[in-house]
Amino acid sequence: MLAVATPGELPPYAGAYQPQTKDERGLWMQSDEEERIVRDSAFVIRDAALNAYLRDVLCRAVGTARCEGVRIHIVRDAAFNANMSPNGFMRVFTGALLRIRDEAELASMLGHEFAHFELRHTLVGFKQERHAHNLAIWAGLLGGGSAIGVQLALIGSTYEFSRAQETEADMLSSRFLEVAGFDRQCAADLWQRIADETDETARGRRQRSQRYDPVGFLATHPTNLTRMRYLAAAAADQPSGRRTGQEAYRAAMKPWRALLLADQLKRNDFAGTEYLLGQLAQDGWTEELLFARGELYRLRRHPRDLVAAARFYTDAIALDPKHAESQRGLGLALLRSGEVERGRLALRRYLELVPAASDAPMLATLLS
């Protein structure tokens, strides 16, 4: 637990915990091996500028002394996720970076993961789970009609403990934001959008929304709605004018936006992606977002979608006539719609813009 701190300050930081027992050292060794595998993976983004930027936001959020023991690895994965290991290894998924809007939201996510580290949640959870497992074995050995009930209760307590840790990390992250001067409401706003996207994904797949469902017996995290509510309550009394760092975040992510959007399109989640693109376009549709929306519709391959896709590509080209990928998408959409001459014209323009394109030989066959 954290030591007591006065308002506006963080409690003293004791430094990164060092494993003491054989079991703890084994857990650290397991985390070290997991980090080695991730570090050497082809899916890790090693760009120095992007990595330095995430580290800078973390250090500004939690303080220089606290962030010294953390190593951030950015993993190319379109899911909204991040996690923390007890040895100081933090993994941030690019899907989270795509959905985050500003530095305040990024700081809330990084601060949440660091809170797990500072509060030693993985170690505490490991010990609690092991204790519950041992008790469950003894209950099974004793037998009797109540043995199964005891075992189920112990399993439930393990997951309930995990949910309590998530809430504790959320609240400490909110405290980090308060002390660092970031807008604390951003965390609730982020979870609001994640909940809305999840609902859209469910609708598109003709599934029922689970937004108002009670927390599941085996759930490791609070529901999105629960998190949104208690984070909003924590930020209710914050002073106005807190910083968000929106422009700085946009500038840092600009070189990566196209790649992250391309990865999102591969998730086969039409409704969820359509919602996400709309959220990203809150301040206006860019050629990059219009292209992604055109790809989303074209790749679904419904005949009625091809007309919409061609319109989105055309709008993107109007913003940037040299946006080669939009010329390519427009050409393919028009050809599939039967507008052969217009389609070929767009593909020729694409090949003029990118004569050494890897797909040039294939597209040339469509122009012959």
pLDDT by residue (tens digit) across 268-282?
A: 999 999 999 999 999
4 pLDDT more than 50: no
Determine the pLDDT at residue 34. 96
Judged against a pLDDT cut of 80, whether residue 136 lies above it is answered with: no
Closest CA to 113 of 52, 162, 72, 141: 72
Residue 245 lies in a domain: no
Q: Does 203 lie in the same domain as 333?
A: no
- Which residues share a beta bridge with 73? 91
CB burial readout 124-150, b (16+ within 10 A) else e: ebbeebeebeeebeebeeeeeeeeeeb
Query: What's the rounded mean pLDDT across residues 105-119?
Result: 97
Question: In whole angstroms, what is the distance from residue 153 CA to residue 89 CA?
Answer: 32
pLDDT above 60 (res 360): yes
Q: Are residues 337 and 226 part of one domain?
A: no
The C-alpha atoms of residue 90 and residue 51 are separated, in whole angstroms, by 12
Of 90, 248, 220, 83, nearest in space to 160 by CA: 220
The pLDDT of residue 294 is 98
| Structural domain contains residue 271 | no
Please give the single-letter amino acid code of residue 14.
Answer: A
What's the pLDDT at 14?
A: 82
Specify the range with the lowest mean pLDDT, choosing from 240-249, 263-272, 315-324: 240-249
Q: Write down the pLDDT at residue 124.
A: 83
183 with 75, same domain: the answer is yes
254 pLDDT higher than 70: yes
Q: How many CB atoms lie within 10 A of CB 112?
A: 22
Under a CB-based contact definition with an 8 Å cutoff, are residues 17 and 123 in contact?
A: yes
Mean pLDDT throughout 307-326?
97
| Residue that finishes a domain, picked among 234, 265, 297 | 234
Asked whether residue 250 is assigned to any structural domain, the reply reads no
Out of 47-61, 121-135, 153-167, the most confident range is: 47-61
Strands 71-75 and 44-45: antiparallel
Question: Which residues are CB-contacts of 51 (< 8 A; sequence separation ≥ 6)?
Answer: 45, 72, 74
Give pLDDT, residue 57.
98
3-state secondary structure of 312: helix
Q: What is the CATH number of the domain that holds 342?
A: 1.25.40.10
**Which residues are registered as beta bridge partners of 72?**
90
- Rounded Cα–Cα distance for residues 176 and 181 (Å): 9
The answer on 80 and 160 residing in a single domain is yes
Residues 229, 334 within the same domain:
no
pLDDT over threshold 80, residue 146: no
Domain boundary among 234, 251, 271: 234
Look at the chain and report how many structural domains it folds into: 2
Paired residues of 89 in beta bridges: 71
- In this structure, the answer to whether residues 132 and 71 fall within a common structural domain is yes
CA angle 280/285/288 to nearest 5° reads 80
Mean pLDDT of 227-234: 95
Whether residue 133 is predicted with pLDDT greater than 90 in this model: the reply is no
**Does 229 share its domain with 343?**
no
Q: Is residue 16 part of a domain?
A: no
**Is 123 inside any structural domain?**
yes
The pLDDT assigned to 10 comes to 82
What ranges make up the beta strands (E) of 3-135? 44-45, 71-75, 82-84, 89-93
Q: Is 93 helix (H, G, I), strand (E, B) or coil?
A: strand
Q: Any idea which residue has 């500003």 for tokens? A: 102
Same domain, 290 and 197: no
What whole-number percentage of the chain has pLDDT above 90? 76
Looking at residue 331, its pLDDT comes to: 97
* pLDDT at site 130: 67
Distance CA 39, CA 158 (A): 30
Structure tokens that stand for 301 in this block: 């391959």
194-217 pLDDT, tens digit each: 999 999 999 999 999 999 888 887
Mean pLDDT, rounded, of the chain: 90
What are the pLDDT digits (tens) for 33-89? Answer: 999 999 999 999 999 999 999 999 999 999 999 999 999 999 999 999 999 999 999
What is the average pLDDT across 259-267? 97
| pLDDT tops 80 at residue 155 | no
What pLDDT is recorded for position 231?
96
Does the structure show a pLDDT above 60 at 287?
yes
Q: Is the pLDDT of residue 307 over 80?
A: yes
356 Cβ partners below 8 Å, 6+ apart?
Answer: none
Task: Please calculate the CA angle 71-256-99 and round it to the nearest 5 degrees.
Answer: 80
Domain boundary among 217, 234, 251: 234
Q: Beta strands of the chain (E only): which ranges?
A: 44-45, 71-75, 82-84, 89-93
Give the SS3 label for residue 72.
strand
- Within a domain: residue 165? yes
40 and 150 share one domain: yes
pLDDT band at residue 2 using 50, 70 and 90 as cut-offs = very low
What is 25-47 written as a DSSP string? HHHHHHHHHHHHHHHT-TTEE--
Mark whether 105 and 170 lie in a shared domain: yes
The mean pLDDT of 311-325, rounded to a whole number, is 97
Residue 240 has a pLDDT of 72
Distance CA(338)–CA(328), nearest Å, equals 16
Residue 301: inside a domain, yes or no?
yes
Give the residue numbers spanning the domain of 297.
Answer: 285-367
Whether residue 50 contacts residue 149, with contact meaning beta carbons closer than 8 Å, is answered with no
Judge if 294 and 152 occupy the same domain. no
Query: What's the rounded Cα separation, in Å, for the pair 302 and 300?
Result: 6
- At residue 6, does pLDDT exceed 60? no
Domain match, 149 and 289 both: no
Mean pLDDT, to the nearest integer, of 258-268? Answer: 97
In a domain, 306, yes or no: yes
